[in-house]
Amino acid sequence: MKLRLLTALPALVAAAGLSACSSSGSDDVAGDGGRTTLDVWLMRDSVSADFQKKFEKGFEAAHPDIDVRVQIQEWEGIGEKVTAALAGNDAPDVIETGNTQVAQLAQSGGLLDLSDKVDELGGKDWLKGLAEPGAHEGKQYGIPYYAANRVVVYRTDLFAKAGVDADAIKTRDQWIAATKKLDKGEQQGIYLPGQNWYTLSGFIWDEGGDLATESDGTWRGALDTPEALRAMAFYKKLQALGKGPEDSDEARPPQAEVMAKGQVAQIVSTPGGADVIAQNNAGLKDKLGFFPIPGRTAGTPGAVFTGGSDLVIPVMSKHHDAAYTFVKELTGDAWQKKLAVAMSYVPNKTTLAGAVAEDPGASAMAVGAAEGHATPNTPGWAAVEAKNPVKDYMTAVLTGGDPAREAAKASDAITAAMK
């Protein structure tokens, strides 16, 4: 899914603006010795210009019969653009898409089924938060590309002053106890907006619940289950240890900018939030640290929503073999390690987590990514996010509404939206 759901991809990677190295075209062959022209759509800021240049050079050296032409796409309106491309006769050969968008695209019949390639691509080690939404009705259409997820961004100086050791926070109970020590006077123990629903989702998954469940082909909202209600109770307890607004999300106002004012001890954000904090308050640049969101028990980190992208191949591509070669290289171990280091991403396989060991933010993400999830894998979920009754539910509970009654209302709204 587009990482605006993780406080925006540009904030995550802090990458410089990119420009397309060439425009996509419909010519089957470039005029260079009969090389196959491969048109690829990658998303704005998914890779830096430097990494893109290095990958293309390395790929074409290894595959001199393929000429890669990358066109950088904007996130705004990309869903409609991809849908139109899949329905036409001049679709690109490879498309980067948000992981949770794959089910909608696959439903149209426009994506190539890559199920027979999963083993060859090392699918047993894929992050499930990328792999599961890349599948639809038992078939694999999206190949995991890169991931990012939330961590706790904290003030090292405030933690030290309060006598709190961030490395020792492994459970939710320990997190609450530490946050209480940090919540003093004007200082907020945590800034947690009332509608940060992806963070709530992690707590729900921790409890063994989900946002919606499927039975006999029918999906229904599941916020009214005992598991989800326990998660909301914990969210309310944590949110009360700060002054986060009850009726808005992390973007209104931007939570990193709030933390930059100096009175917030921690936020739940992608590591890129630390860059935004430092940009707004240079004095905090060397006073920021990261740790994985704690889980219910010390042995398992908290569940997180996995944002990121998959690569898909349109059925209408004229170069399936070359397209697969491109996907195999970019999602393979060698380039995944380089991509993770260059962009501070989580690699697409759990076995590659060590690639970001020297990056504090990315390594904290990698720990959480092992417990990563995605939103319900159904094309109908897009309609839920359009109105997002989860946010309204959270505000209702935080402002005194009966949790069970409000959860039932929200679950009914989710069910209706998915029909």
Q: What is the percent of the chain where pLDDT is above 70?
A: 92
Res. 3: pLDDT tops 60: no
Predicted pLDDT of residue 382? 87
Tens digit of pLDDT for each residue in 236-250?
999 999 999 999 999
Q: Does residue 13 carry a pLDDT above 50? A: no
Instruction: Give the pLDDT mean for 164-183.
Output: 98
pLDDT at 26 exceeding the cut of 50: no
**Section 8-14 average pLDDT:** 34
pTM for this model (two decimals):
0.87
Q: What number is the average pLDDT over the span 256-279?
A: 97
User: Does 27 score more than 60 pLDDT?
Assistant: no
Q: Is the per-residue pLDDT at 204 higher than 60?
A: yes
* Tokens at 235, concatenated: 């969210």
Residue 258 and residue 191 in contact, taking contact as beta carbons nearer than 8 Å: yes
pLDDT at 32 over 90: no
Dist. CA 310–CA 343, nearest whole Å: 16
- The DSSP call for residue 400 is T
Coil, strand, or helix at residue 146?
Answer: strand
Q: Is 60 exceeded by the pLDDT of residue 122?
A: yes
Long-range contacts, 295-299 (Cβ 8 Å, 24+):
295/170, 295/171, 295/172, 295/206, 295/371, 296/171, 296/172, 296/206, 296/207, 297/171, 298/170, 298/171
Tokens of 203: 């707590």
The one-character DSSP state at 52 is H
Enumerate residues 6+ apart whose C-beta is below 8 A from 121: 143, 328, 331, 332
Name the least confident of 1-5, 204-208, 329-333: 1-5
For the chain, list the domains and their CATH numbers: 3-148+307-363 (3.40.190.10), 151-304+376-418 (3.40.190.10)
Q: Which residues, 6+ apart, have CB-to-CB distance to 321 below 8 Å? A: none
Is residue 151 very low, low, confident or very high in pLDDT (cuts 50, 70, 90)? very high
Write the pLDDT tens digit of every residue in 300-337: 999 999 999 999 999 999 999 999 999 999 999 999 99
Residue 34 pLDDT class (50, 70, 90 cuts): confident
Query: What angle in degrees, to the nearest 10, is found between the helix axes of 389-398 and 197-206?
Result: 80
How much is the pLDDT for 89? Answer: 86
- pLDDT-derived band of residue 19, with 50, 70 and 90 as boundaries? very low
Mean pLDDT of 2-26: 33
Confidence check: pLDDT of 15 > 70: no
Per-residue pLDDT of 286-298, as tens digits, reads 999 999 999 999 9
C-alpha span between 56 and 206 (Å, rounded): 40
**What's the chain's average pLDDT?**
92
Kindly tell me if the per-residue pLDDT of 414 is higher than 80. yes
Per residue in 125-149, pLDDT (tens digit) is 999 999 999 999 999 999 999 999 9
Q: What is the pLDDT of residues 368-408, one digit of tens each?
A: 999 999 999 998 998 999 899 999 999 999 999 999 999 99
Contact in structure between 105 and 312 (CB atoms under 8 Å): yes
Rounded CA-CA distance 344/259 in Å is 22
Alpha-carbon torsion, ordered 396, 400, 405, 411, to 10 deg: 20
